[in-house]
Amino acid sequence: MKIIMLGAPGAGKGTQAKMIAAKYDIPHISTGDIFRANIKNGTELGKKAKEYMDKGLLVPDELVVDLVIDRFKEDDCKNGYVLDGFPRTIPQAEALDAALSAMGDKMDYAINVEVPDENIINRMSGRRACVGCGATYHIKYNAPKTEGKCDTCGADLILRDDDKPETVINRLNVYHEQTQPLIDYYTNKGIIAEVDGTQDMNDVFNAIVSILGE
């Protein structure tokens, strides 16, 4: 099963993608996580990506597309995968479709997690990310057992620089301009599924499972 997660920054794509990956036993491929790992390791790609990410802008398509296409050709993706944070532009979606059709393959579902802009700032300012393993928490809606520490690996939890309100506003504008058109794109392909992302995370997940099947 091959799935794309769509939605504004903070809509809950990562949270749901992790739950999907665990239930259906497929890899979770997050371009944001890949970039953050590159930044942490000081790679050339990380240096380039950081310039854009810090401003709330998208990393240029040419730095993203091959990275993802190479990743889903790996062995662990043979039963499918869930893409989180990719595609984010029409050219990325077209490159993805071209790569899949060259392999005689196609995407199965694009799940749009709907959350209005007014809820997003709240979600982002409360989001905390683990510096060790990348796990995501929310100070109110998904609090760690010990404040400021990751449940899984014990490392510190931080507020991402790009989750500060001034950057979130840029990211929302970028989302509306460049990423939201993908909803029409996948509607036209007949693979869009909409879920209400304002519900409790378990209810969002149940709605997704009812689309994907048990």
Look up residue 165 and give its two tokens: 């309100």
Q: Are 149 and 155 in contact (CB under 8 A)?
A: yes
Block residue for tokens 């050339």: 44
- Where in 148-167 is the site for Zn ion (CB under 5 A)? 150, 152-153, 155
- 71 belongs to the catalytic site: no
Q: Which strand (E) or helix (H) includes residue 4?
A: strand 2-6
Instruction: Give the footprint of ligand ADP on this chain (CB under 6 A).
Output: 7, 9-15, 31-32, 35, 52-53, 57-59, 64, 85-86, 88, 92, 123, 126-127, 136-138, 141-142, 162, 171, 197, 199-201, 204
CA distances, 201 to each of 56, 129, 158, 169, 212 (Å): 25, 17, 21, 23, 16
Q: Decide if 8 contacts 175 (C-beta within 8 A).
A: yes
**What count of other Cβ atoms lies within 10 Å of the Cβ of residue 31?**
21
Q: Are strands 28-30 and 81-84 parallel, antiparallel or unpaired?
A: parallel
Q: Does the annotation mark 128 as catalytic?
A: no
User: 152 touches which of ligand ADP, Zn ion, none (CB within 5 to 8 A by kind)?
Assistant: Zn ion
Place of tokens 């790009």: 162
Question: Which candidate in 36, 123, 128, 171 is catalytic?
Answer: 171
Q: Is 146 in the site for Zn ion (CB under 5 A)?
A: no
Using CB distances below 5 to 8 A depending on partner kind, what does residue 130 bind out of ligand ADP, Zn ion, none? Zn ion
**In this chain, which of 22, 98, 103, 133 binds Zn ion, going by CB under 5 A?**
133
150 interacts with, out of ligand ADP, Zn ion, none, CB within 5 to 8 A per kind: Zn ion
**Residue ranges that bind Zn ion, judged by CB under 5 A:** 130, 132-133, 135, 150, 152-153, 155
- Active site residues per annotation: 13, 88, 127, 160, 171
